[in-house]
Structure 1
Amino acid sequence: MISADMKSEEGDLDEDAINNFTCELGVLSQCDGSATLCNGLTAVLAATFGPVEVRQQRELVDRSSIEVTFRGPHGVEGVEDRRVEQLVRSTLEQCVFAALHPRTAVSVVLNVLETDDLLLLSTCVNAAVLALLDSSLSMKYLPAAVTCVPVGDRVLVNPLPSERQGSSGGSVTAVYDTGSERLVACRTAGQLSAEQLTSCLREARRAAAMVRQLYRRAVAAKFSKEPRDPWAGPSRAEDMPPSWRRLGGQQAGEQSTS
């Protein structure tokens, strides 16, 4: 969790800012790219397929189409599910080099394993980006999503439920291009003053740089693994960076000591 003073233009952000994030690439074998991402109490499994050929009526002659399927933890589709799909799809359509693969489709499937509703949207966006990175699909830039909640005179970034006490109920989920720091998408909920919105966007932009570090670490962790017997089970927990141990390292540690 990142905490910053709304009265301060430049707070201090360090690597502890993404301690609530854990992720792993390549967790599925029957798809082109996959990733799991845990953000606090929210966990999402993302899988990508394609570019693949599609039927003629679904073809786009100048680019690849992006399809997003959202599957909630309870299996019941609702209006909020469609909103998540729409925002994730619009974000990916902007960042993927779709013109390189005309008359094809890229499908992204998001499976919610558990959720704290406030962080669901940002977790889905980031999980989809990680899965696309795992598939090696060409991208124009790396988008990063962050959820901010104003509490008193502070802005909390990706806060846990216990940290949101005293909040008025307002929140901002912002997606930034981590290269140019350009705002790509934004969604607000509840009542926010102009000052609160500005402060939330400012802190979200700065926190997006930390999410970019998460992407870099995830890719580095995947390609730094030594070749091993695929039936040998997970690598030892002590060989994994601290940020990833919470997701897979604990199980690995248990197996290595058994």
Structure 2
Amino acid sequence: MATEDEQSSLRPMYCELNVLTRSDGSALLTQGETAIIASVHGPIEVKLQHMNVEKAHVDIHFRTRSGLGSVNDRLLENLIRNTYETTILTALHPRTAISVQIQEMQDLGGLVACAINAVCLALVNSGLEMKYLVAAVHSVLGENDKITLDPDELQSKDARAKFTFVFESVGRKTVSIYTHGKFTSDQYHRALRMSTAAVGKIFDFYQEIVAKQSKVL
């Protein structure tokens, strides 16, 4: 259970689907003041070096707001690729590629979680088959052993450790975990418990967005 000094609520979320006309699915997602646009193309023709006769190749491209790439950006791409290679039913589309483009619009805390969630909504919008939906929750460990869930940029500034847990929608089990910094086992499990308790709100948000889109169609 979170202490009185811990923040256990999520920042407000907003999403708009079909924001890009030349993609098979797209989503603009904001969590607090962090904003991501994700788009999906595929199944499309795959490059020869990535061709697999048993499944589709999942390609992830992340672009920062400045347009300048870094080692951390490649780590983010790998994290998202590992998450969605196990989520998308790639065996249904052998010898093809599924390309995901992620554009950072603004980063004011929780960029990784926002990107993962935006991709999930873009995939839902594209109609690609998935085993389950996924949702990511970000938290940080601050001074005085305080865990802050879904922190903004100011709350993240002096964090001793950062946690991003990615959950699947069926059993609410973790499918990916990204951590940075120093923390104890107790602090890790406290962050995990808080994230597990909060992720249902994100899945509920997904349902609301899809329901609204269905009414529009």
Match of 1:24 in 2: 16
Match of 2:181 in 1: 190
Quick check: 1:6–1:199 contact (8 Å CA) kept in 2?
A: no
The one-letter amino acid of 2:207's match is R
Distance 1:145 1:204, change over 3 A: same
Distance 1:26 1:154, change over 3 A: same
SS at 1:27's partner residue?
coil
Which has more radius of gyration?
A: 1
Q: Give the TM-score normalised by the residue count of structure 1.
A: 0.77
Match of 2:79 in 1: 87
The one-letter amino acid of 1:101's match is H
Match of 1:121 in 2: 112
Runs of 5+ unmatched residues, structure 2: none
Quick check: 1:33–1:133 contact (8 Å CA) kept in 2?
A: yes
User: Is 2:8 the partner of 1:5?
Assistant: no
Q: Give the TM-score normalised by the residue count of structure 2.
A: 0.91
Which of 149, 152, 172 is equivalent to 1:160? 152
User: Is 2:194 the partner of 1:177?
Assistant: no
Match of 1:110 in 2: 102
Runs of 5+ unmatched residues, structure 1: 228-258
The one-letter amino acid of 1:198's match is H
SS at 1:85's partner residue?
helix
Match of 2:45 in 1: 53
What percentage of aligned pairs have identical amino acids? 33
Which of 88, 92, 96 is equivalent to 2:88? 96
List per-residue Cα deviations over 1:78-105 (Å, max 9, x = no partner).
1000011000111010100000011011
1:203 positional shift: 1.1
Report the count of equivalent residues. 214
1:153 positional shift: 5.1
Name the CA distance, whole Å, in 1 between partners of 2:106 and 2:141.
24
Name the CA distance, whole Å, in 2 between partners of 1:45 and 1:74.
15
Name the CA distance, whole Å, in 2 between partners of 1:224 and 1:154.
42
Which of 196, 202, 220 is equivalent to 2:193? 202
Name the CA distance, whole Å, in 2 between partners of 1:26 and 1:210.
22
Quick check: 1:25–1:134 contact (8 Å CA) kept in 2?
A: yes
1:41 positional shift: 2.2
1:168 positional shift: 4.3
